[in-house]
Amino acid sequence: MSFTVVKAQPGGELPGGEALTWSDGGLGRREFLRRACIIAAGVVGLPSSAAAKMYEETVVKGKKPSVIWLHFQECTGCTESLLRAEHPPLDDLLLDLISLDYHETLLAAAGKQAEAARTQAMRANAGKYILVVEGAIPMKDNGIYCKVGGKTAVEILNECAAQAGAIIAIGSCASWGGIPSSDPNPTGAVGVTGALKGKTVVTIPGCPANPYNFLGTALQFATFGTLPALDSKGRPKFAYGRTIHEDCPRRPHFDAGRFALKYGDQGHRDGWCLYQLGCKGPVTHANCSLQPFGEVPGAWPIGIGHPCFGCTEQFVGFSIAQSTTVPIENPTPSTTFAAVNSGGGKMGVAAVGVGGAILGAVVSAGYKFSTTLDAEEPSADEEA
């Protein structure tokens, strides 16, 4: 599959009045990389001029960011999803946009040779290279539960982090520990932030993380030397600033109160809101609905009819059962309206009964008492 350039209608989306279409045709490799930069810049929320600059710096001038990619306790899912990004395809990414100097999955070298490539890249790009960490770091028993080339994960991490220009934790495992850290956390697994105290770590949580959130961050650093704005958990705000719930394609069903109640029921088939099935969208910050994985629209849990799992959110994903519903973090007004005079207040039947009974008892007892006084002899009356 490749792309063709067609004349765009007025107001076309791309600089230069062109638009991308899905068809065979002659889109040059260079042009294609320009597109990749545009998408990456768009993801980070930078203007199109920034995309041009990214392209200029990386492709034209060949100043590709050196990337050292470490794997610890993980499943390599984040790498796999990165490799499935369509813009750019794997070869362009590796050969033109970044310089992937060390990556255990992709490295041709093995053993000592591979480790040597790492140290050499670190020396050559000291203070400039991007350190990407995939996977959690075990801390228990001096970190013996994950070793590469005889060194523990935490040792390698510290070594590589010392001279890194930027540190990116990709995936939920690297962000806070992810699956390896879930109860009872036998290896004492933590995220990069937990293992590297005091360093700025960009976390790109997700299981797997969306590759564009990573690429956008990496290219922004490579081009401008800056990192995107981060939230309190180190996540780029451009991707994690809002909850799934806020941008959910099924949101109108929520607002209208239409919920799927069982997997496969009519509501589920009709694409209604998955909240009652335990969707974690209302508390999970991520841009899944806006930036599809691998550019396949709908290729994410809610898109295929599965409630959000909360994978980008510590204490939600891998912590709360899928079927458990969560409180709404940022409730918005419903689509129904209060009446001008809504009415209200409490008037219980029991309350009225009790109140009436007491009043009745007092009055009737008083009356009864007064009749006993009537019965008294008048002489007693006049005593005083």
Partner 1 sequence: MSLSRRSLLKGLATAGAGIAGLPAAGQAKELKRRPDDAVGLLYDATKCIGCKACMTACREANGLTAAERDGKWYDPQSLSGNAKNVISFYRGPKGEESFMKMQCMHCVDPACVSVCMLGALKKGDKGIVTYDADACVGCRYCQVACPFNVPAFEWGKATPKIVKCELCRDRLAQGKIPACAEVCPRHAVIFGSYTELLEEAHRRLATEPKRYVPKVYGEKDGGGTQVLYLTAAGIPFEKLGLPALGEKSVPSLPETIQHTIYKGFLAPVVLYGALGAVIFRNRRKSAAGGEEGDA
Partner 2 sequence: MSHATAPVGGRILTKPMLVLLGLFGLAAALLLWRFIQGLGAVTAMSDRYPWGLWIAYDVVTGTALACGGYALAILIYILNKGRFHPLIRSAILTSALGYTLGGFSVIVDLGRFWNVWKVPTLFWKWNFSSILLEVALCIMAYMFVLWIELAPAFLEGAKAAGNPKLRRLAEKTLGPLEKAMPFIVALGLLLPTMHQSSLGSLMMLAGQKVHPLWQTPLLPLLFLISCICMGYGVVVLESALSSTYFGLPRETPLLRRLGRVVAPLLGLYLVLRLGDLAIHGKLGLIFTSGFFSVLFLAEMALFVTPIVMFYTEAKPKLGQLFRGAMMIVLAGALYRFSTFLVAFRPSKGWVYFPSVGETLITVGLIAGEIAAYIFVVKKFPILQSRPRRATVRRLGADVIDRLPIPSTAPASGD
DSSP code of 95?
I
**Which of the listed partners (partner 2, partner 1, none) does 334 bind, with a CB threshold of 5 to 8 Å by partner kind?**
partner 1
Site string for partner 1, 230-269 (x = CB under 8 A): ------------------------x---------------
- The SS3 call for residue 236 is strand
- Determine, following the binding rule CB under 8 A, whether residue 22 of this chain makes contact with partner 2: no
Site for partner 2 in 331-370 (CB under 8 A): 341-348, 350-352, 354-355, 358, 361-363, 365-370
- Determine, following the binding rule CB under 8 A, whether residue 327 of this chain makes contact with partner 1: yes
Q: Which residues contact 192 (CB under 8 A, 6 or more apart)?
A: 133, 137, 157, 167, 169, 174, 175, 201, 203
Q: Whole-angstrom Cα distance, residue 333 to residue 329?
A: 13
Whats the size of the chain, residue-wise?
384
Q: Which of 1, 321, 338, 380 binds partner 1 (CB under 8 A)?
A: 338
Q: Whole-angstrom Cα distance, residue 112 to residue 109?
A: 9
Least Å distance, CB 361 to partner 2, is: 5
Q: What are 226's two structure tokens?
A: 């800056």
Q: What are 25's two structure tokens?
A: 């045709």
**Is residue 44 within 8 Å of 217, Cβ to Cβ?**
yes
Q: Which of 342, 370, 371, 372 binds partner 1 (CB under 8 A)?
A: 342
Q: Which of 108, 321, 340, 349 binds partner 1 (CB under 8 A)?
A: 340
Least Å distance, CB 267 to partner 2, is: 34
Q: Whole-angstrom Cα distance, residue 336 to residue 233?
A: 35
**Is residue 196 within 8 Å of 231, Cβ to Cβ?**
no
DSSP code of 181?
G
- Determine, following the binding rule CB under 8 A, whether residue 150 of this chain makes contact with partner 2: no
Cα distances (Å, whole numbers) of residue 296 to 85, 230, 238, 293, 309: 10, 27, 20, 6, 19
Closest to partner 2 by CB, 60 or 358: 358
Residues in the interface with partner 1 (CB under 8 A) total 16
**Which of the listed partners (partner 2, partner 1, none) does 366 bind, with a CB threshold of 5 to 8 Å by partner kind?**
partner 2
Closest to partner 1 by CB, 22 or 337: 337
- Determine, following the binding rule CB under 8 A, whether residue 328 of this chain makes contact with partner 1: yes
Binding region for partner 1 (CB under 8 A): 254, 275, 327-328, 331-334, 336-342, 344
